[in-house]
Amino acid sequence: MKVPQLDLKAQYEKIKDEVDAAIMEVVGNQTFILGPAVEKFEAEAARYLGVKHAIGVSSGSDALLLSLMALGVGLNDEVITTAFTFFATAGCIARLGAKPVFVDIRPDTFNIDVLKIEELISNRTRAIIPVHLYGQPAEIESIVALGGKYRVPVVEDACQAMGARRNDRMVGTLGRTGCFSFYPSKNLGAYGEGGLIVTDDDGLSRALRSLRVHGESGRYHHERVGINGRMHGIQGAVLSVTLKYLDGWNALRRAAAARYDGLFEEAGLSEFVKPPVTIEGNEHVYHQYVILAARREDLVEHLRDLGVAAAVYYPEPLHRQPCFKNLGYKKSDLPQSVRASREVLALPIYPEITEEQQRYVVDAIREFYEKWEGK
């Protein structure tokens, strides 16, 4: 049996007619950059998330970059974030000449350890970027409170967590801005690159809309230096279609995660595999179903031999990346991030995955550990 990490074709087949019609409408009116399709999606996303402003941009990476630009982050400033995340979270800080200040993670959720943030706040701290990793909300209310105490804005990296909730609040809506990615593999995926910034701050919204078009305030009139960070019309059209299905897809992901939990319990693999933990108050959307696995590299090879796709997000924490060598971190720093990078393994999960496929995955994992234990 083949079990892919993700099956986008299965999703497309169910909504093909709607998506194709939306794309052809954009082709027909030839508004390929921003335009009415993007404006429509922005309004729908703002209503869905319960915010005043939603600004469609070119990617989740640019959503983070533009947020920091709008907040005035620049040369020699410091921005606190997690060391265990996709590179863009820290890359956007470094691109502005600021310094990423890395915090270790909680060993159970893989999210930033709130208890370790305050000691790293300095008079050069200009922002805090928590990440809602794998679709699991970080303890955002505590982080926002800490930011308020020191007058440091919080930029939520919700790129993997569209539709997730923390204590019944949508992630991305508690910080000064919230940033989302619509990379095709995300729970809400575009048919190409796309991103979104949300905020309740009127002034910040105006700045963000200007910054995404090279800082324009009027045609060829530039009050600030921005970037080309515009969302394409076709992506706005596709996202207007898929947004209607997001909550249903997320519910199916949670059901699949619960099946995995039950199958692992049945298999008696607790000595070798640790399923993900969801903390109280969180509504996880399982962008990834990530286990901690002993002998991970050998397990990955075994699964691939049996047709099961499994991926490692992420094999190296950011403080160990060569481009951040100048920051002075030792390899032994941030031990929970280091441990996670050695043991995390994302198993196939998507709304259309079947119980039969999931049983096959868990049986393959059990087979590996039974062989290993017998050696």
Task: Convert the pLDDT of each residue in 41-57 to its tens digit.
Answer: 999 999 999 999 999 99
Q: How many domains does the chain have?
A: 2
User: Are residues 345 and 284 part of one domain?
Assistant: yes
Is the residue at 262 inside a domain? yes
Is the residue at 1 inside a domain? no
Q: Which residues contact 140 (CB under 8 A, 6 or more apart)?
A: 130, 132, 154, 156, 166, 169, 171, 174, 175
Taking alpha carbons only, the member of 305, 301, 315 closest to residue 344 is 315
Q: pLDDT tens, 236-254?
A: 999 999 999 999 999 999 9
User: Are residues 182 and 77 part of one domain?
Assistant: yes
Segments forming the whole domain that contains residue 125: 8-243
From CA 86, how far away is CA 161, in angstroms rounded?
A: 13
pLDDT at 156: 98
User: Are residues 232 and 97 part of one domain?
Assistant: yes
List the CATH number of the domain containing 305: 3.90.1150.10
User: Are residues 211 and 107 part of one domain?
Assistant: yes
Of 197, 222, 243, the residue that ends a domain is 243
User: Are residues 168 and 143 part of one domain?
Assistant: yes
Cβ–Cβ under 8 Å, residues 324 and 100: yes
From CA 73, how far away is CA 92, in angstroms rounded?
A: 10
pLDDT band at 276 (very low <50, low <70, confident <90, very high): very high
Q: pLDDT tens, 7-42?
A: 999 999 999 999 999 999 999 999 988 999 999 999
User: Are residues 116 and 254 part of one domain?
Assistant: no
Is 60 exceeded by the pLDDT of residue 350? Answer: yes
User: Are residues 117 and 131 part of one domain?
Assistant: yes
Report the DSSP beta bridge partners of residue 157.
131, 179
Is the residue at 30 inside a domain? yes
Compute the radius of gyration of the chain from its Cα atoms. 21
CB atoms within 10 A of CB 296: 17
pLDDT at 374: 57
User: Are residues 206 and 254 part of one domain?
Assistant: no
User: Are residues 251 and 226 part of one domain?
Assistant: no
Cβ–Cβ under 8 Å, residues 180 and 172: yes
From CA 321, how far away is CA 48, in angstroms rounded?
A: 37
List the CATH number of the domain containing 111: 3.40.640.10
Cβ–Cβ under 8 Å, residues 187 and 285: yes
> Residue 365 burial (CB < 10 Å; 0-12/13-18/19+)?
buried
User: Are residues 73 and 203 part of one domain?
Assistant: yes
Is 80 exceeded by the pLDDT of residue 373? Answer: no
Is the residue at 3 inside a domain? no
Is the residue at 221 inside a domain? yes
User: Are residues 251 and 227 part of one domain?
Assistant: no
User: Are residues 367 and 330 part of one domain?
Assistant: yes
Report the DSSP beta bridge partners of residue 198.
54, 178
